[in-house]
Structure formats: structure tokens, C-alpha cells
Amino acid sequence: MTKITRRDAIRTGATLLAAPAILTYSLRSEAQELALEAEKGATLRVLRPSKFVQGDENLWLANTEKFSKQFGIPVKVESEGWEDLRPKSAVAANVGRGPDIVYGWHDDAHQYPEKLANLSDVATYLDKKYGGFYDVCKKYGMRRGQWISVPLGAAGSKMVYRASWLKEAGHTAFPKDLPGFLKVCQDLKRINKPAGMALGNAVGDANGWCHWIVWAHGGRMVDDKDRVVINSAETIKALDYVRELYQTFVPGTLSWLDPSNNKAFLDGQLSLTNNGISVYYAAKNSTDATVKAMAEDIQHADYPVGPVGKPTELNLIVNAMLFRYSKFPKAAKKYIAFMMEKEQYEPWQEASIGYFSQPLREYEKSKIWTSDPKHTPYRGTLSNMLWSGYGGSPGYASAAVLADFIMVNMVAAAASGAKSSRDAAAEAQKRAERYYKI
């Protein structure tokens, strides 16, 4: 007869106690494997936006090569200029021929959802494994309960400012609300170190802050039933605010395109603007000693939060789409998932030096966000973001309204006094209604 010692009893008890945990663990790790057998002889063509920074492209290609080696699937990666990416992917979708995977902009997937493969398995797998997608990703990625694209990340835009000048103007911290923000800009103007944000037809910068300020006040282009509601009391309040804010701006912002604020900032003519991390990097890597010294003084902050009480930023998001015409959908899904796995994603994010913020919460822990405290604000890009076409659904109309600069033109007209806030909002309403046909 075997003698059961106290120690044995404890051991057995511990095993029994641990059993459910082990069982759950093994089930979970099963869920964490994406069981996809790639088609025999598969080859892939991938189209992505041309690089932000060299590291982005280098690492992307290196990761792709790793994929090819590991699974024996040759992949051809092509990049396309930012403006040509959208028409090119739309044509591919509709001609039924071209790259298997396209990493496209904003609401592209919602313009031809019926041409796209269901990526729910990939997205669910990633969602479970990496702490979940942010809410905005679901808005971009899902349609009628199905994932039609998998967000790769977004190029974040933040408030970029000169800390010492803010101090000189009497502020030690960057404001978190709109009255505070206006006060800071007024004080900066007072010490002759003005702020400035683009109001020309600048795709990234102007769209970014003009949407933010209107949304922050509760204005929005459409409601949840896609009815145009931009001509509202909230919008007019936002435009009245902008009118005051504009008085503090450096002259010329009405004509600013995307590079304008970078140039003025790096030349020391601008104390505060909204931008990606590129200004900081240009300063940090400058060969000019004065510009290099500026890097020390540059700080980043979240856009202040308005009366709606939550962040309302708009950033440039990139989503992976897999076309139905692809002959190797399983291989393609494998690729999309592979590039999002920690072993690939983190080094790539690192190499993109903060230009790309993650769609999955797990990557908030990426070293890139803490290796330099100036990177940290860009970490929250997707958690602070709403979508193009907020509060309705992304699609043709939202894409057209964004491309036609309706929000930007409205804000610019009111800011400069070319139109009263009321008239500017009424005109935007009319222009948007042409796309959201009433």
C-alpha cells in the first residue's frame, strides 16, 4: 500500500487546483495560434504606402523576407505614393486584378467591401492575443459584424511646442482644455512667439486639427444615421472659438500646406503647431547646431479635450485589405497576421521611430514609447482618435467629404472672417449634403 505523505497530498491538491488553470491556458494558447495552411505554391503581391522614414521600409522588407523564408512563400512588396494609393487600390478592387494585399487609407475598405475577403479570423486572433483593438479600429475594420480590413497603425499628430517659450509666456504645463489652449496661444502671441496651424488644403495637418476642434465642441458632419448635421449650434460654437484662436496665429496659415508648419517651426518662427513626430526628428538629426539644440526644447502633447469630455483627434490610419480575387487568401492572411506579431511589429515600430502608432493595446508597451519621453504622447494616437465620417459610417461619402476639404474650408472661412460662423456652417452643410444625398 502506498503511503500517502503530507507532501504528496499537497502536491496532488495543488495539481488538482491548477488543473483548470492549465486547461484554460492550453485552450487559450490554442486560440492564440492562427491555424492557416497556406496554399501550395502561393506567391503574394503587397502594395503599401511609400515610406515615412527609411527605417519603416527597411524593416518592412526585412520582416517580409523573414516571412518568405519561414513559410516558403515569395512576396513582392510594392510601394505607392500617398495620393496614388487610393485610386490604385480602388481600380485593383474593381478590375479584379492586382496586389493580393493593399495597405490602404482611412475608409478605403468601406468603398468596396464586397470585393474584400473576410478577415475576421485574423482580426479576432490578433485582438485576443494582443490586448484588443482600440474602438476606432473596429469602426474602420468592421462592417456588419465582419472584419474587412485589419488596421496596421496610424501616423499620429500631436501638439508640438517649444517648452521654453511656453514658460516664457507664463505656462509650465500644456493645457488640457480649450479655454486653457486659447489662453496659451494668446500669451504666446503676446510675447511675439505665435502659434499656427494649417488652414490651406493640407491633407494631413489641416484635416487633423479642423476635425478635432469641431468634434471637441460636439459638432460633427453626420449623425449615426448618416444625416448631415454639421450646421449645428455646437459647430457654430467651435467656429466662434476658432475665430478667436486664429487671431493668435502667425500670418499666412490660410495658405499653409502640409510642409509649411514644419518649415516655420524649424526656422524658429513658430512656437506651437500640430504635427507628426517629424518636426522633432528633423531637429534631432539636423546638422545645423541651432536646429539641433531646438530638439531639446521641443515637446509633444495631446490635443486638448473640449466640452464633449473625450479626445477627438483624427489621424491618418492604414488598414490591410485582402482582395477576394487573390488566389492565395490563406497565405495572404498569414502574411497580414505575421506582420502584426510581436516579433515583427515591435522592431518595425521601433524602426519607424514613432511615426506609426499601434492599433493593438499590447504594443503600448513597445520600447519606442518610453525610450525617449518625447515619443510618449504619440503612443495614444489610436485611443484618442475618432474616424473619418464620425459620427456616421465610413464609406464613399465620408471619403469624398474629407477629400473635398469641406471641414477645413468651413473652419478656414470662419477663422479668417471670410464668412460668419453661421454662414460657414450653412455652406458646409450644403456641400456635404451633395455627397450624403438627402
Partner 1 sequence: MSQGVIDGGLKPPAFPALARALDNRLVLSAIFMFPALSILLVFLTYPLGLGVWMGFTDARVGRPGEFIGLENYVSLFQDSVFLLSVFNTLVYTAIATVLKFGLGLWLALLLNNALPFKAIIRAVVLLPYIVPTVLSAIAFWWIYDPQFSIVSWALKQFGLIDRYIDFLGEPWNARWSVIVANVWRGIPFVAICLLAGLQTISPSLYEAAALDGANAWQRFRHVTVPMLMPILSVVLTFSVLFTFTDFQLIYAITRGGPLNSTHLMATLAFQRAIPGGQMGEGAAIAVAMIPFLVAATLFSYYGLQRRKWQQGESND
Residues that bind partner 1 (CB under 8 A): 83, 86-87, 90-95, 111-112, 199-203, 250-257, 260, 263-264, 267, 269, 396, 399-400, 403-404, 409, 412-413, 416, 418, 427, 430-431, 434-435
Tell me how far, at minimum, the Cβ of 264 lies from partner 1, in Å.
Answer: 5
**Residue closer to partner 1, measured from CB, 252 or 373:** 252
User: Which position has the grid cell 519621453?
Assistant: 373
Tell me how far, at minimum, the Cβ of 86 lies from partner 1, in Å.
Answer: 6
**Residue closer to partner 1, measured from CB, 320 or 415:** 415
Tell me how far, at minimum, the Cβ of 324 lies from partner 1, in Å.
Answer: 14
**Residue closer to partner 1, measured from CB, 110 or 333:** 110
Tell me how far, at minimum, the Cβ of 418 lies from partner 1, in Å.
Answer: 6
Tell me how far, at minimum, the Cβ of 37 lies from partner 1, in Å.
Answer: 32
**Residue closer to partner 1, measured from CB, 197 or 203:** 203
Tell me how far, at minimum, the Cβ of 136 lies from partner 1, in Å.
Answer: 21
**Residue closer to partner 1, measured from CB, 75 or 270:** 270
Q: Are strands 316-322 and 150-155 parallel, antiparallel or unpaired?
A: antiparallel
Using the CB atoms, write b or e for 58-86: b if 16+ within 10 Å: ebbeebbeebbeebebebebebbeeeebb
**Residue closer to partner 1, measured from CB, 179 or 252:** 252
